[in-house]
Amino acid sequence: MGGLTEMANIGVKLEEQLVAVGIMSPKELIAVGSREAWLRIKKTTPSARIMLLLALEGAVRGIRWRDLDEQTKNQLKLFYQNTK
């Protein structure tokens, strides 16, 4: 595919989900951002959870999701709660 699995946190399944919503490459994921990518996936996969959002943000930043700073994690959790 477009090399998405070369990004941190992106496995084959997540790459398939991203491609299914029109995000074909790392460059496109970075341009779209984690929140918009997650919202697109959530439309096709209503069971998408916070861990997916954290993984996407880590991928955009080029780090493992566990290494996201607490402020970013809290902002993403708030975003997640507001989109339920």
Local confidence band at 16 (pLDDT 50, 70, 90 cut-offs): very high
Q: Where are the domains of the chain?
A: 4-82
**pTM of the full predicted structure?**
0.95
d(CA 61, CA 71): 14
The mean pLDDT value for 3-8 works out to: 96
> Which top CATH class is 4-82?
mainly alpha
Output the six-digit token pair for 70: 């607490």
The mean pLDDT value for 48-76 works out to: 98
Whether the pLDDT of residue 64 is over 70: the answer is: yes
Local structure of residue 9 (DSSP, 8 states): T
Whether the pLDDT of residue 1 is over 70: the answer is: no
Q: Among 35, 76, 38, 18, which Cα is nearest to 7's?
A: 18
